Structure 1
Amino acid sequence: METREKILIVDDEWNMRNLLKVLLFPHFDTEEAEDGATALALAEKKSYSLIILDLMMPGMDGWEVCEKVREKRQVPILMLTARGDTKDKVEGFSAGADDYLVKPFDSEELVARAKALIRRSQATASHAVEELIEVADLKIDRVERLVYVGDKVIELTPKEFDLIELLATNDKIIFTRDMLMNRIWGIDKERDVRTADTHVKNLREKFRKNELSFNPIRTIWGKGYKFQHSNPEQ
């Protein structure tokens, strides 16, 4: 019997947890947590293909849960919220979320986003082509899905890894925001292309804090982004 991917649903409302279970059951196995502490305990002990995480919960909110999961796990995280403010989305992505869905949501979109997040988080490990990319003091291990500056591992979200890997393996291509959204997020519905900008900003900040010797993501004004092997002035 084929093993199904398992999703952890985290929401303080029983009705929402039950709805998510019903919508996801035809495609995935699910477990649930009614609060952040329970979610963290489960994520510590078990392996999940995706965490669906409510943003507004009493006690430990979704942002804090996301940050704590990211300290130890690189499992994809889909944030759910009743608010669609751009500020909330940016904060969610900064905390380590990979995607964002506003309640009420379309059931088909929920399933599509879940499948896309799981598929893209596993894709690189299934390919053996050019397992290691090295540029100056930057190293991208495509099998282990790890990024190093020198000998130090840089903590990236699955989507951040997908972004730097895509740019580095296609270093001749200028990627528009729409191209990045299609290649990495893969949802052919209306979406906020600023998601790509936020992930680029987060990546650059992590590389800067870890003293990478060059900025690997170059902005091509009016067009998009491409990988660069050294700073323009070098």
Structure 2
Amino acid sequence: MCAYVVVAEDDKRQAHVIRHYLEHEGHTAVVVHDGRAALDEVRRRRPDLLVLDVMMPVMDGLDVCRILRRESELAVLMLTARTTEEDLLLGLELGADDYLTKPYSPRELMARIRTLLRRAQRTAAPADDPVLRIGALAVDPARHTVDIGGRQVDCTPGEFEILASMAAAPDRVFSRRQLLTRTHGSDNYISERTVDMHILNLRKKLEADPGRPAYLLTVFGVGYKLTDGTGHAH
């Protein structure tokens, strides 16, 4: 697919490299160098993907991501020089779909971008998938909607992929690696902690008491399963 991508990177050399690789693969790329410009460009042009550096002037990438997640489900790939797990998980908690730590290879960057664009394309494509119902939870793969007890729940693309995969096989126990493969393909660079953060965010959105989940249960030593809400955490 040929996509429209906004690249928000204040390092002009890095931004030039990213744009070059995107255009080489047939995509249209526009570069901005601060967070406010990124927000304005996304609102104006509605791109398919935002490549977002964390450390930027005017407004940093975390604030951009926080604001955008209230407005859209745009796929966001975050670039960060921060390497602590807490910093990386914060980006995911704010709604980024993936992150890449600096320094990175252009080849790895493009692999991540291809994965996110494929996911966005699947989400946007019309489908005949039936609504997946489990207890009071309804997941609609065709319309990319989630509701629980009639209340609509906004999910990031990554969260939706995980939830839809689990809803298609209720009570099946999925390992973190299996869920990671469904959301990021066979990308071995991604930490399995990414799945934990997506599950944590989903529990905040779905569960009456996220600390005592009834739907998204942990199976210790294995992974997670989705139940009809009558179960109890292990």
How far apart are the structure 2 equivalents of 1:93 and 1:69? Answer: 13
- CA distance in 2 between counterparts of 1:153 and 1:106 reads 39
Q: 1:59, CA displacement in angstroms?
A: 2.5
Does structure 1 residue 231 correspond to structure 2 residue 230?
A: yes
Q: Distance in 2 between matches of 1:123 and 1:34?
A: 30
Separation in 2, partners of 1:127, 1:169? 18
Question: What amino acid maps onto 1:13 in structure 2?
Answer: D
Partner of 1:142: 141
Deviations 1:56-79 (A, max 9, x none): 112311111001111111011000
Aligned to 2:172: 173
Shift of 1:134: 2.6
Matches of residues 176-191 of structure 1 in structure 2 within 5 Å? Answer: 176-191=175-190
Provide structure 1 residue ranges, at least 5 long, that are not aligned to the other structure: none
Change over 3 Å in CA distance of 1:101–1:33 after alignment to 2: same
1:117-146 Cα offsets, whole Å, 9 max, x none, are 111122244363433123333221212211
Change (3 A) 1:209 1:18: farther
CA contact (8 A) 1:113 1:187 kept: no
Amino acid at match of 2:216: I
TM-score for both structures, normalised by structure 1? 0.90
Tell whether the 8 Å contact from 2:215 to 2:231 is kept in structure 1 after alignment: no
Distance in 2 between the 1:230 and 1:89 partners? Answer: 31
Distance 2:48 2:166 in 1: 24
Match of 1:158 in 2: 157
Aligned in 2, Cα 1:228/1:199: closer, same or farther, shift over 3 Å? same
User: TM-score, structure 2 length as denominator?
Assistant: 0.90
Seen in structure 2, the aligned counterparts of structure 1 residues 57 and 187 have a Cα distance that, compared at 3 Å, is farther
- 8 Å CA contact retained: 2:153, 2:205: yes
Partner of 1:35: 34
What is the letter of the counterpart of residue 20 of structure 2?
A: V
SS across alignment from 1:173: coil
Measured against aligned partners, the alpha-carbon deviations of 1:140-198 in whole angstroms (never above 9, x if no partner) come to 12122111233332121110111101110122532111111111111433331111111
Distance 2:137 2:102 in 1: 39
Cα distance, 1:210–1:129 mapped onto 2, change above 3 Å: farther
In structure 2, how many angstroms separate the alpha carbons of the residues matched to 1:223 and 1:129? 32
